[in-house]
């Protein structure tokens, strides 16, 4: 029997994992988000916020003085590390390794980031403070989107499921680049130089065919500490470290072993804990006017309208001009449903919102409303379209 992560079985294995676990993972995120909102609007609200934002009595790293900072800057670095492992695997031996196969998902992901940002800017761009949130609706939450897709069942053809996974991976790459380029403060070159030296050490370990995880883990942890103090967001270290993990050597490769070992922790602990710590928003006194204020409205419209418009139009144009064929066996209605699901922006959108408005906590709360509302509408509408979409006709183009 082939190893579960051998290069020739990466995609089928990934699809089997999604079919078995993504529905539960998506349901878990919905549960923690609902619990966070319930606590933030209950008599326990003060305790909920104090749990994450009150100064810790002791911390080994001065820059991480609250539990919220430990989750967002430390645990989320592990999340980004797993994202980086998945990205490298797809580039080396997956759907992004073949130029012909990556044309459509790369084009769709780019349009699915640019159009939501444009929709957001059109609605909120007149405010010099709000314009900093332009990237919030550009991200897709892979666990939520694939979780909803799993609830639809086998009605959605496997190539379309794989297309959604690949678009979400390219989307993650774009989100990481946005964080690195647009949400980096003044750099402290000394710390950055040390981080680059540690990256060189990791690359040298790979060239020397070191296949034990220990040396890489120590170098990656030290690099994260340096990046934390460098002015760049610490989570960038997770992605960069992952790209230095080798896929060559004995099978399964170290990259595959690490991804397999960490993906469960990522899905069932880190992301739900991040959601629980960040999704709680107080709804008292908001009303319809608050929901329709420029920031939440711009985010929700970017997710619900911008995402589906960008991705669906990109696929339609690419198919019509012969640049790339649409996913095999999928009707246009099914493709539209998947494009709508890409408007679920929970994890990465919440993360970018905190980076976009670090000095405006009230704006972060408003952003949460837009993210949760837009993601909920995208999830329900996408599920409904996919549930009732007709199968493609045999001769349909």
- Digit-coded pLDDT (tens) for 151-184: 888 888 888 988 998 898 898 889 889 998 998 8
Q: How confident is the model at residue 43 (pLDDT cuts 50, 70, 90)?
A: very high
Q: In this predicted structure, what is the pLDDT of residue 202?
A: 98
Quick count: other Cβ atoms within 10 Å of Cβ 396? 10
Confidence (pTM):
0.87
Q: What percent of the chain has pLDDT over 90?
A: 69
pLDDT at 393 over 70: no
Q: In this predicted structure, what is the pLDDT of residue 169?
A: 86
DSSP state of 267: I
- Helix H or strand E segment including 375: helix 361-388
Q: In this predicted structure, what is the pLDDT of residue 258?
A: 97
pLDDT at 262 over 70: yes
Q: What percent of the chain has pLDDT over 70?
A: 91
CATH architecture assignment, domain 7-184+233-388: Up-down Bundle (1.20)
Q: In this predicted structure, what is the pLDDT of residue 208?
A: 94
Q: In this predicted structure, what is the pLDDT of residue 81?
A: 96
Q: In this predicted structure, what is the pLDDT of residue 19?
A: 43
Q: In this predicted structure, what is the pLDDT of residue 309?
A: 97
Q: Which residue did the predictor score with more confidence, 127 or 4?
A: 127
State the average pLDDT over residues 241-258.
93
Residue listed under structure tokens 């066996």:
329
First to last CA, the chain: 38
Rounded distance, CA 356 to CA 364, Å?
Answer: 8
Q: In this predicted structure, what is the pLDDT of residue 289?
A: 58
- What the block records as the tokens of 134 is 């332009």
Quick count: other Cβ atoms within 10 Å of Cβ 186? 6
């Amino acid at each position: 029997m082939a190893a579960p992560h051998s290069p020739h079985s990466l995609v089928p294995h990934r699809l089997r994992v999604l079919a078995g676990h993504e529905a539960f993972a998506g349901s878990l995120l919905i549960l923690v988000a609902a619990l966070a909102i319930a606590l933030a609007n209950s008599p326990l609200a003060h305790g909920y916020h104090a749990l994450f934002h009150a100064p810790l009595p002791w911390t080994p790293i001065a820059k991480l003085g609250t539990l919220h900072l430990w989750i967002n800057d430390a645990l989320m670095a592990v999340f980004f590390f797993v994202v980086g492992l998945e990205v490298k695997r797809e580039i080396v031996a997956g759907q992004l390794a073949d130029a012909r196969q990556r044309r459509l998902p790369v084009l769709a992901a780019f349009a699915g980031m640019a159009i939501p940002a444009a929709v957001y800017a059109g609605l909120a761009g007149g405010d010099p403070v709000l314009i900093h949130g332009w990237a919030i609706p550009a991200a897709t939450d892979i666990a939520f989107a694939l979780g909803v897709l799993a609830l639809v069942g086998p009605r959605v053809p496997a190539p379309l499921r794989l297309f959604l996974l690949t678009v979400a991976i390219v989307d993650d790459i774009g989100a990481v680049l946005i964080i690195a380029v647009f949400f980096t403060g003044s750099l402290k070159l000394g710390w950055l130089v040390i981080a680059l030296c540690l990256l060189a050490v990791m690359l040298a370990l790979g060239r020397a065919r070191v296949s034990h995880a220990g040396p890489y883990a120590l170098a990656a942890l030290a690099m994260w500490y340096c990046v934390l103090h460098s002015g760049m967001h610490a989570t960038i270290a997770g992605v960069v470290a992952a790209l230095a993990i080798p896929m060559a050597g004995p099978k399964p490769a170290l990259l595959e072993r690490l991804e397999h070992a960490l993906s469960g922790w990522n899905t069932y602990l880190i992301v739900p804990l991040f959601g629980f710590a960040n999704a709680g928003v107080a709804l008292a006194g908001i009303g319809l006017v608050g929901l329709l204020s420029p920031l939440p409205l711009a985010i929700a419209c970017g997710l619900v309208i911008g995402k589906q418009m960008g991705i669906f139009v990109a696929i339609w144009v690419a198919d019509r001009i012969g640049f790339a064929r649409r996913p095999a066996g999928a009707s246009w209605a099914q493709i539209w449903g998947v494009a709508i699901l890409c408007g679920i922006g929970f994890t990465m959108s919440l993360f970018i919102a905190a980076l976009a408005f670090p000095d405006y906590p009230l704006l972060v709360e408003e952003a949460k409303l837009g993210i949760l509302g837009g993601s909920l509408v995208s999830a329900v509408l996408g599920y409904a379209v996919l549930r009732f979409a007709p199968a493609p006709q045999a001769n349909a183009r």
